[in-house]
Structure 1
Amino acid sequence: MLKKVMVTCAVTGAGDTAGRSEHVPVTPKEIADSAIKAANAGATVAHIHVRDPETGGISHKMEHYEEVVERIRESDTDVIINITAGGGGDWIPSKEDPTVGGPGTWMQTPSERHAPVEKLLPELCTLDCGSLNFGDQVYISPYGWLQEHAKMIQDAGVRPELEIFDTGQLLLAKQLMSEGLINEDPLFQFCMGIPWGMDADPETLIYLKNRLPEGAHFSAFGIGRQQFPVAMQSFLLGGHVRVGLEDNLYLEKGVLATNEQLVDKMVNIMQAAGSEPMSPDEARDFLNLRK
């Protein structure tokens, strides 16, 4: 177990959650404000998606990312910003013609997914390491696209957080490393309990941890009621943690949460076990982030 643990807050996500809780931030100002409050509660990293302010649904617009990042950077918090680079991979085959995408499909090339990272240069960004049956759709991230995307992230000087949704994706990430597309001491995020990826249980987390490359760092999260059990398992095994409204809406059964409440609860659990949240500056040194 680490004495200092990075706490990531996944602030809003892209799922259909805004209509299920009034606390899910939607506008750029709401997302930035929620990230700042999470940082003040002890979050080391703010993981950022953006939404359409009118509908609350997914957005990939550059101006929304720009406003969120600008507001966070102009605040009095030094939280590490982690922008998603996994958008635009949603494929839902048309019922009339399965060779084309039906309603809900939203595809982007690697360069389009990378555009906010290229322009805003956060310290971290995500790289989703493979395709997946994701609920009732398919998330598309073939290996050739991963090679292209990993190279763009590397050239930008941004550190990738390697998102692993199923066990085989760890092999894809290690292959990218062998080709020199991921720098040494990589950072992995194990994304657990998402239909139809890997289970959110101790056996799976131990399996993944035992197959990490030498020098790797890892974090893990579970969705819904598995958020805190998976986070606890992660830091007890020597990893880092992620909480936030992207993955879970509830502080406890029947009680809707805010991001800062989820962070505060996680920090209290860690402190009870003898660990403390890592400050953003401590994490910058730990991960050797660009300064």
Structure 2
Amino acid sequence: MNNKIIISAALTGVLATRQQCPGIPYTPEEIAKEGKRAIDAGASILHIHARQDNGMPAYDVETYRRIDEEVKKLCPEAIINYSTGAIGISQEERIHQIDALQPDMAALNMGSMNYAIYSAKHKQFYHDHVFANPFKDIQFFLERMNKAGTRPEMECFDTGHIHNARPLIDMGILEPPFQFSLIMGVLGGIPATTQNLVHQVSQLPEGSHWQVIGIGKKQWRMVAAAITMGGNIRVGLEDNLYMPNGDMASSNGDLVKEATTLVRTLGYEPTSVHEAREILKLPVKQD
């Protein structure tokens, strides 16, 4: 039985601000330092969204290039995973950083969904959007990732998103090894429960690699469940701002350290970056 668990760190996202958590990194230098803290604490994969220096989302190639350079200075061996998820920008703006930088991995959103944040206190929705990812867009992004030599990390917010991979496999444009992220706890997607995680994993194509991405404070329960199932895990300030005891995290390194402790408590070991590359069959890219 493989007792190795791959830990990903989602460093910044696009929504959380320093007003919510002072540890959120904005600039390329800050993102790189957070990446180093995460790698030193036991992460192998860094999932990164670009930010402007004022904290607003950035989608331009130059900002991603600055991030790429800074991260590789501090974390030269890290597996880099850039986002392509966004609402309200063009296909080209979502993918051009993958063309230019050819990262190890890139997030590929596998279906459309309602997306919102609901305040029970104010009985009101915030950030209320339809996150549209029709098949034609998924195919477009996948073909560009294939051309760049970048592994698609299929982000699935519900069961139907998993099955959206099957026609792409049949077409031959989605090839093994398959990499799935099972995102749980987003309003509009599947709720974060162990029962739902077991169901999601049962739907995956044979031989798939998978990780759980729990959103919010329930993240730690989902992380524990995934570890006991032999799955991989993602933590980080994009997904959850809080430590298991409820205190706010001061950095991504703190969250990864807690994840590493939990992995070992449950009888597993976090992978090194080299081991993660071997398990996922990711080549070592030469700059």
Within the alignment, does 1:121 sit opposite 2:102 as a pair?
Answer: yes
In 2, are the aligned partners of 1:2 and 1:239 still within 8 Å (CA)?
A: no
Gap regions ≥5 residues in structure 1: 91-105
Residue equivalent to 2:125:
none
Residue equivalent to 1:96:
none
Task: Determine the C-alpha separation between the residues in 1 that align with 2:194 and 2:167.
Answer: 25
2:214 to 218, 222, 227: 222
Question: Taking structure 1 as the reference length, what is the TM-score of the superposition?
Answer: 0.90
Residue equivalent to 1:132:
113
Q: 5 Å matches for 1:93-108?
A: 106-108=88-90
Three-state SS of the structure 2 residue aligned to 1:250 is coil
Task: Determine the C-alpha separation between the residues in 2 that align with 1:175 and 1:226.
Answer: 32
Residue equivalent to 2:119:
none
Task: Determine the C-alpha separation between the residues in 1 that align with 2:60 and 2:95.
Answer: 12
Task: Determine the C-alpha separation between the residues in 1 that align with 2:142 and 2:252.
Answer: 30
Residue equivalent to 1:93:
none
Aligned-partner residue type, residue 240 of structure 1? N
Three-state SS of the structure 2 residue aligned to 1:191 is strand
What is the Cα deviation at residue 18 of structure 1?
Answer: 3.0
Residue equivalent to 1:8:
8
Three-state SS of the structure 2 residue aligned to 1:189 is strand
Task: Determine the C-alpha separation between the residues in 1 that align with 2:159 and 2:34.
Answer: 32
Aligned-partner residue type, residue 42 of structure 2? G
Deviation digits for residues 155-208 of structure 1 (CA, Å, limit 9, x no counterpart) = 211111100011111111222112111111201000100011101001111111
Deviation digits for residues 241-270 of structure 1 (CA, Å, limit 9, x no counterpart) = 000000111113243331000000000011
In 2, are the aligned partners of 1:40 and 1:77 still within 8 Å (CA)?
A: no
Identity of paired residues, percent? Answer: 33
Q: 5 Å matches for 1:254-269?
A: 254-269=247-262
Aligned-partner residue type, residue 111 of structure 2? G
Task: Determine the C-alpha separation between the residues in 2 that align with 1:185 and 1:213.
Answer: 10
Task: Determine the C-alpha separation between the residues in 2 that align with 1:169 and 1:234.
Answer: 19
Residue equivalent to 2:56:
57
Aligned Cα root-mean-square deviation (Å): 1.3
User: Which moved further from structure 2: 122-131 or 279-288?
Assistant: 279-288
User: Which moved further from structure 2: 15-24 or 29-38?
Assistant: 15-24
Aligned residues: 272
Task: Determine the C-alpha separation between the residues in 2 that align with 1:221 and 1:76.
Answer: 23
In 1, are the aligned partners of 2:249 and 2:255 still within 8 Å (CA)?
A: no
In 1, are the aligned partners of 2:110 and 2:164 still within 8 Å (CA)?
A: yes
Aligned-partner residue type, residue 57 of structure 2? I
What is the Cα deviation at residue 113 of structure 1?
Answer: 1.3
Within the alignment, does 1:187 sit opposite 2:179 as a pair?
Answer: yes
Task: Determine the C-alpha separation between the residues in 2 that align with 1:127 and 1:162.
Answer: 5
Gap regions ≥5 residues in structure 2: 117-127
Task: Determine the C-alpha separation between the residues in 2 that align with 1:23 and 1:122.
Answer: 25
In 1, are the aligned partners of 2:227 and 2:266 still within 8 Å (CA)?
A: no
Within the alignment, does 1:175 sit opposite 2:175 as a pair?
Answer: no
Question: Taking structure 2 as the reference length, what is the TM-score of the superposition?
Answer: 0.91
Aligned-partner residue type, residue 18 of structure 1? R
